[in-house]
Chains A and B, each alone.
Chain A
Amino acid sequence: MTRYLRECSVVFRRQLRMNLRNPAWVLIGILQPVLYLLLFGPLLKPLVGSFGVGTDNAYTFLVPGLLVQLGMFGAFFAGFSLIAEWREGVIEAERVTPAARSALLVGRLWRDVLQLFVQAMILVGLGYAVGMRGSVGGVVLGVLITLLVGGACAAASNALALVSKSEDVMAPVVNIVMMPVLLLSGILLPMTIGAAWLQTVSDFMPFRYVVDAVRDGFAGDVASSAVAWGTLWAVALFALAMWWGASVFRRENA
């Protein structure tokens, strides 16, 4: 186990070093949610009271959605850097070392989750600055759920990258997945204000429960059933994505 953790941390440190050499990516990744926060948040202010959600504060409503969005979509792009490395022979060189092949994935996920954590802190900090009210315990829980979901998406993205080995496949797949997730998860507006059929459709969107859970957490309602369901979904998605990712990395002929 220590050996495994050591292998993961070698991979992690290498990735982190390369990321720190190019810190612009952390900021570019956070730019989109920050723009939503600053330019879309004000539009919600007069509306949020009529949503019938747990809060009347536009930012307490919006920041959790943006956080999950950041976790999902930021992580979806993690695979692109893996393709670049694969093309230069790095992955193959690592696969010929005795290091556990799943450690090659896990080390990279540590980097993705750390990057997400930094971005989440920036977003939450900005949220407080523009007037968000949130219970600290609930925010911590919300961030943890976000990290779990982000880890899941990063694992899936890395797995997809290693299976497809092509940005030309990755980009459309990520796009096709992203649009319905964005529209059916209630990230920008709550699904509850939609028509009944739309709500029914969104019931089949796992990420919706995650958004609801983080939102309840931020609103201070830590013990709600939505939090329980969202956490459950986050754990399930994470387990599923890790299983897929690990099996792709371990596969003999990748």
Chain B
Amino acid sequence: MTDPTNPARTRPGNEPLVDLRGITVEFPGVKALQDVDFRLFPGEVHALMGENGAGKSTLIKALTGVHALDTGEIHLAGEPVSFAGPAQAQAAGISTVYQEVNLCPNLSVAENILLGREPRRFGAINGWAMRARAAKLLSRMGLTIDPGSALGNHPIAVQQLVAIARAVAVDARVLILDEPTSSLDAGEVAELFRIIRVLRDEGVAILFVTHFLEQVFQISDRVTVLRNGKVVGEHDTPKLSRITLVSAMLGRELGVLAEVERRTERRAADPAPLLVAEGLGRSGAIEPFDLEIHAGEVVGLAGLLGSGRTELARLLAGADRADTGRVLLDGRPLRLRSPRTALAKGIAYSSEDRKAEGLVSDLTVRDNMILAMQAARGWARQVPRRTADELVASYLARLDIRPANPDAVVGTLSGGNQQKVLLARWLITRPRLLILDEPTRGIDVGAKAQIQQVVADLAADGMAVLFISAELEEVVRICDRIVVLRDRHKIAELSGADAGVDDVMELIASGSTRVEVRS
């Protein structure tokens, strides 16, 4: 897209700080980036959008010198540059904050911010000066964190902000944020955005990668969309419609999304509940709550991060033990001692932490899919190879998993496909209640729509689904009933038909003060 008439190409009185021209990066067998032009201006927040595998990460890595360019050149403030690695890029003022916080939790906040460039006196680290410098930096960002406290004692969100502080500590002119919000709740995102705006107003050029459409419109000034390694659009955000953006990313009309968009008509759920929780609770995790789930309905759990969504789900799945209350399945009391007993009773739980609690990353797609089924049978009765192959093949097709190769090592798949493999693992056990904790987090729009569709289909077939998501739009769209949590309490239950995002948001916000960053 090098259309000179495109208003986004010309920005009066301003030269691009970063100008990538004709970038091509090839990996064996793949053109990860193909003739990509990309410009970043000082004092703008620029969102980089695209599905998984579109080339976002490759573009960032090409810019920061991680990947060598096959063709093309990089200009920084008008000068051609070439970085041999991230350290050189950083020295030139390009700092990157990755999705996962790469800091040392056992060191103090100040030490983390200034790691590798500690102020020294007589050859030793000057602790006093270090804390002072860190404190100055934090206050510039409007953060009230004690620089001397251990980083590990802070929540992930604060650690993320510290990572940003570390990135700007080197007088960064360009700040790259690679999915910084994927593990933050709404309040924390707001805090992050406030800081992003502060930095932007100081003239820092910010490149922002995210999967959340809402956030793109909230924070970004311009958007560049990548698809299959090519730039398919460069837009001013205010002039961009949501549909244009999504269809540019997907490269197809919005059939899939629209289909899920309409609330699926469903048969009336069974009058007798499948599962009832009475006063179920666990101290320090979730206050006692009541909950009914019927076969054929999708119940959503909404609330901020840390509101007890996951904790509630883990009690129902036997992953944690409740210390009060009881669970009835088909009206009969059920003692959930372990995930194993829950699975035996038809309750499957897909954890929010795909990497740590879901995938067995070194094993193949096949092994990952049949793991739960095999575990239920015990080690002595191996799932016959043919049964396994048939099941795996059918789910590869049904969930549109790519590559459709049962022998691929699961760790090499993209996030969306990994999530689908996990979904297949639980579906193979033929659960009666499927608990999905953030099944669409960090995956691309296409896979997200597919997973939402699968959830709707499963419910239509009579499965009960407990659906947890930080994205309220998604919860409202696909759930029949929404349970709202706040500060580890269940505070309300809405019927999906008359619930909108605003209603849920109001409930979550009601009576609670602004979410503050703890120090």
Whether A associates with B in a native complex is no
Name A's B-contacting residues (CB within 8 A).
none
